[in-house]
């Protein structure tokens, strides 16, 4: 459910960033990733360009160039030129592949390549706009991705704490059962003393349990506080985008 909500929110984010520019939204909805760090190749851009020249498929190189351009705002103009150059080369490769498929009678494949050519032409013409929106989009996605990673780490800690609490409870119950068995072998006086010791131990165990419960309660409250802070920050960024 959370993943679905995040996907819907990011779809809304892209629509928000593109505004009434439907053609821009149509292309970017195909070329921007919800999880860029996972989706975009880890290879360096030069390697991806070399591979694209051999295969004729420039998609991975273009994805990388767009992402790098969003992460290096001081080199924006250079990346605009890089993306335009890649889009132009991608158009040539796609047009050649389209002609080949048409000759082979593969009309459906040719149509798909035709749409790809149109997208690359749009990308070449609107590179600056694409990079501007991508910068906002990926900036927000990386912020929320970091929040998600930290939230998952806190959830792991909570699950570990709950597992440890169950183990402690099982161990204490085992110890109580063992003491009850031992008392059956004792004399009346020994049992009386054993009960006194058990009463003290039970009180100490109760105090330790109360301390752990208070710690969990504090952790849950901190989680709620962090959630509210993150939500407020998201809303503030959204307001700032609208005002700009």
CA angle 67, 68, 71 (to 5 degrees): 95
Are 139 and 36 in contact by the 8 Å Cβ rule? The answer is no
* Boundaries of every domain in the chain: 2-139, 145-243
How many CA atoms lie less than 13 Å away from 230 in the CB half-sphere?
Answer: 16
Burial of 98 (0-12, 13-18, 19+ CB in 10 A): buried
pLDDT-derived band at 9, boundaries 50, 70, 90: low
Helices 76-103 and 107-125: crossing angle in degrees, nearest 10, is 160
- For residues 32 and 83, what is the distance between their CA atoms, to the nearest angstrom? 14
pLDDT in tens, 103-136: 777 777 768 888 999 999 999 999 999 999 999 9
Tokens coding 101: 């498929």
Q: Which of 34-38, 155-159, 165-169, 203-207 shows the highest mean pLDDT?
A: 34-38
Are 130 and 87 in contact by the 8 Å Cβ rule? The answer is no
């Amino acid at each position: 459910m959370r993943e679905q909500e995040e996907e819907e929110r990011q779809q809304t984010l892209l629509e928000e960033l593109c505004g009434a520019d439907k053609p821009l939204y149509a292309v970017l909805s195909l070329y921007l990733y919800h999880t860029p760090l996972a989706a975009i190749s880890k290879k360096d851009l030069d390697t991806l360009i070399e591979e694209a020249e051999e295969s004729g498929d420039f998609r991975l190189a273009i994805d990388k160039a767009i992402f790098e351009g969003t992460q290096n705002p001081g080199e924006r103009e250079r990346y605009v030129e890089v993306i335009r150059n890649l889009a132009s080369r991608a158009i040539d490769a796609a047009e050649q592949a389209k002609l080949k498929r048409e000759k082979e009678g593969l009309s459906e494949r040719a149509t798909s390549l035709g749409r790809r050519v149109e997208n690359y032409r749009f990308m070449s013409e609107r590179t600056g706009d694409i990079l501007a929106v991508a910068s906002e989009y990926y900036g927000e996605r990386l912020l929320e991705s970091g929040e998600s990673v930290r939230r998952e780490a806190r959830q792991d800690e909570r699950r570990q704490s709950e597992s440890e609490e169950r183990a402690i409870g099982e161990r204490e119950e085992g110890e109580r059962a063992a003491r009850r068995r031992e008392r059956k072998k004792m004399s009346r006086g020994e049992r009386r003393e054993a009960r006194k010791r058990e009463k003290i131990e039970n009180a100490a165990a109760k105090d330790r349990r109360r301390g752990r419960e208070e710690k969990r309660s504090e952790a849950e409250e901190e989680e709620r506080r962090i959630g509210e802070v993150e939500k407020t920050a998201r809303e503030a960024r959204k307001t700032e985008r609208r005002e700009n």
